[in-house]
Amino acid sequence: MDLAAIPWVQGSLVSIALALIFGGVGMVFKGMLIPRRNHAELVAILEKRITEKTEEAREYKAAWLAAEAARHEQDNQFAELMEFGRTTDAFIRSLAFAAGQPDEGPRHVEA
């Protein structure tokens, strides 16, 4: 007895074939199945985008490193300036003390 001759098997084979056909058509419409030439074009476009984004990330990293180096240099210069200010203030106070003038304490400038 041939298995394909049984009526319920024939119906299930037809339903399987229809399911495969409609599934394939649905995948084409959803964009899950595309022709090989379109796939190659899409892959080339995506690789180009990845290359551009990688280069952009390198540029941003270089700019960030330069900004961090500038900020570090600015912090060092500000610390050095503050040290010069403290040294100058101490020197002027010692001159005033040597001249016999009383120490007035820290000077506050009011706006």
77 occurs within a structural domain? yes
- In the 8-state DSSP scheme, what is residue 31? T
103 occurs within a structural domain? no
Neighbouring C-beta atoms of residue 11, cutoff 10 Å: 10
pTM: 0.51
Spatial distance between the Cα atoms of 104 and 99, rounded to a whole number of angstroms = 14
Spatial distance between the Cα atoms of 25 and 59, rounded to a whole number of angstroms = 44
43 occurs within a structural domain? yes
1 occurs within a structural domain? no
Q: What is the pLDDT along the chain (111 residues), one digit of tens a residue?
A: 465 666 666 677 778 888 899 998 988 888 788 888 888 899 999 999 999 999 999 999 999 999 999 999 999 999 999 999 999 988 988 888 787 776 666 665 554
105 occurs within a structural domain? no
Question: What SS3 state is found at 99?
Answer: coil
68 occurs within a structural domain? yes
Which domain does 34 fall in, by range?
A: 7-98
110 occurs within a structural domain? no
Count: domains in the chain: 1
107 occurs within a structural domain? no
